[in-house]
A and B are shown apart, each in its own frame.
Chain A
Amino acid sequence: MVQEVVHPFAKYLRSAMMPHIWCPGCGNGIVLNCFVHALDELQKDLDKLVVVSGIGCIGRTAGYTNADSFHTTHGRAIAFATGVKLANPELEVVIISGDGDLFAIGGNHFIHAARRNIGIKVICANNFNYGMTGGQQGPTTPLEASTTTTPYGNIEHPFNLVHLAAASGATYVARWTTLHVRRLTQSIKRMLQKEGFCFIEVVSPCPEIFGRRNKMRTGLEMMEWFRRASVVENFSDPSKAEISPEKIVVGEFVNTEKVSYERLLHEKIAQINEKVMGW
């Protein structure tokens, strides 16, 4: 009689939803893996965890995580999560979504959630394009990169996501690539222990759609780029944190303390009630 072997992390995944939809060589699985490791190391209560995603390949992560999870419309994960966190501040609310979702259609929600310092945690898998819809240009596509909508090379300047997050008021900002699994896991752990709005960018390979058009046909070739180009520059100026064929600046850029919106809100509510009711 063969004993059934259960993966030690099986409890973190919604096994009934497997197999996942991701391509071989995709970085999304690594992001999920690091997230799950961080949850495990912190012994997070899965009953109090809510994972929210928008649309795109990485957006399926919500469904794959064995917690309460919600797959919103394109770009609206942060706005939805804001409602969740304010309605029940006891919940740990984590958003795992993509660059197009969070920064094109969702850009406005991102900067405002960071400005308010709502205690939600955002992990962005940045693969430089819209993988699921077939590899169109997005807000992080590098200059001159080839995509299905920039066949002559991209002429739009990309967002520097860590700079944007820091400038908008995030209390924790980091960037890693999917090569940096240990540091990424540590970063996620650190983020999950913080109070305010936190942001981690994970530069992630999309070999099937982006790499293929940009001379990196396999996940391995993209990971080779990350290995060759990544430089850890902790607490360096996020405005100078470049991503180019030669250099990918990674590290922790911001780690500050600032009272969260939900704490201010609930303190305010308590004050008002004291005044009104004389409690």
Chain B
Amino acid sequence: MTGKRTLPTGAHFMSGDIACAEGAIAAGCRFFAGYPITPATEIAEHLSERMPEFGGIYIQMEDEIASIAAVLGASYAGLKAMTATSGPGFSLMQENIGLAVMTETPCVIVDIMRGGPSTGQPTLPGQQDVMQAKWGSHGDYGIIALAPSSVQEMFNLTIEAFNLAETYRVPTLLMGDEIVAHMWEKVVIPPTSEIRIVNRKKPHVSPSEYAPFMPEDDLVPPMACFGEGYRFHATGLTHDERGYPRTQNSEVQTRLVRRLCEKINKNADKIIKVEEVMLEDADVVVVAYGIVARAALSAVRKAREAGIKAGLLRLITLWPFPEKHVARIAGQAKAIVVPEMNCGQIVREVERAVKGTPVSFLSKLGEDPHTPHEILDVVRRCS
């Protein structure tokens, strides 16, 4: 019997927001708290319909701060939890993203980027939040951020975001943009049995021996949840492995904050995903992500047709930054081109990684993303 409850295995025509919502359900997400904001609203709308069919919780909170706080509470109470927002709401969430980092709360935050600053352009795309994703909350920390380029990836990477969040006990960000969120494309949803799902590791000691922030070799501590009898404490204050506040102790602060950064940095090779197209012999390499990477791919193909040895490095993981991949291509290429829908964010990371290879930055703001021809022109000039 196929009830509506079953995941829609097979090929579908759907929007990016809906694909993201379905990806969350497929990943095992059973709690969504959010606040309506364009262009992320359809994720909430779709989950308000779908969540109950899986026994999951949908709640519209009073604002974005409440939404992320409720997500953390639900995660600590044992559910996989998510919220979705756009730039202004993402800004409001930053303090509690820091709390999620500090208390090592697995959760997923979807930020559908629109043009900013401030209310900006609610219905138009941007890539202006990618630095906010890395540095938005106060203090030092490691975080994971993924950038989907297609509706299919809105589905796939939402699942991946949950898996990473659960593996590393870290808030994981899905940084889409208005175009991938609103466009409709074919999406293939595999049978449930073929979807890889990761769950947080649980403690294997008795409650009296349990220290909620004692890391294992991968630098990630096993996680007990509320009501399981472990009776632990978690706080946003600097804390020792038992979770007790140690705000005056520089050694504890150093040990904790370094680990929060290192559990991401030291596992970067396992986390990072990129797509490499025609890079083997490329003289000019375009580095792009999100919707812009699709125009970049087209530009690279056109360049090849015109006899220019061009290639594409598509960043799927934005944070931790795929530094090694960028450095490697810089070693062989004559020029690098970075098109972005902002005034220069990821291009700075590229420049830091390439040391010496000339980088051309192609900035676009406003309505449409880059066209293949706009990127091709720059590729041509660099070749």
Q: Are A87 and B74 in contact (CB under 8 A)?
A: yes
Check A80/B231 contact, CB under 8 A, given A88-B77, A112-B62.
no
Query: How many B residues face the partner with a CB closer than 8 A?
Result: 49
User: Which of B36-44, B65-73, B306-314, B357-365 sits within the interface?
Assistant: B65-73
A contact face: mostly helix, strand, loop, or mixed:
helix
Check A71/B236 contact, CB under 8 A, given A83-B69, A84-B74.
yes
Residue in contact with B234 in the complex, picked from A47, A71, A265, CB distance below 8 Å: A71
Q: Are B244 and A268 in contact (CB under 8 A)?
A: no
Interface size class of A (residues with CB under 8 A): 35 or more
Q: How far is the CB of A120 from chain B (nearest CB, A)?
A: 10
Residue of B nearest to A115 (CB): B62
Let me know if A44 is at the binding interface, CB within 8 A. no
A276 to B5, CA, bound (A): 7
**Chain B residue contacts of A82, Cβ below 8 A:** 33, 59, 61, 66, 69-70, 73
Q: Are B233 and A277 in contact (CB under 8 A)?
A: no
Q: Are A76 and B5 in contact (CB under 8 A)?
A: no
Q: How far is the CB of A69 from chain B (nearest CB, A)?
A: 5
Taken residue by residue from 288 to 308, chain B's Cβ proximity to chain A (1 for < 8 Å, 0 otherwise) reads as 000000000000000000000
Q: How far is the CB of B78 from chain A (nearest CB, A)?
A: 6
**Chain B residue contacts of A108, Cβ below 8 A:** 62-63, 66
New contact pairs (12) apart from A16-B242, A60-B245, A70-B73, CB-CB < 8 Å: A17-B233, A17-B244, A47-B228, A72-B236, A82-B70, A84-B226, A86-B70, A87-B74, A87-B78, A87-B79, A90-B227, A112-B66
Q: List 21 A-B contacts (CB under 8 A).
A: A47-B227, A47-B231, A48-B227, A50-B77, A50-B226, A63-B245, A68-B226, A68-B227, A68-B230, A69-B234, A70-B103, A71-B236, A72-B99, A79-B65, A80-B70, A82-B61, A83-B75, A83-B77, A86-B31, A86-B70, A91-B226
Question: 3 nearest interchain CB pairs?
Answer: A83-B73, A83-B70, A79-B69
Binding site for B on A (CB under 8 A): 14, 16-17, 46-48, 50, 52, 60, 62-63, 66-73, 76, 79-88, 90-91, 108-109, 112, 265, 268-269, 272-273, 276-278
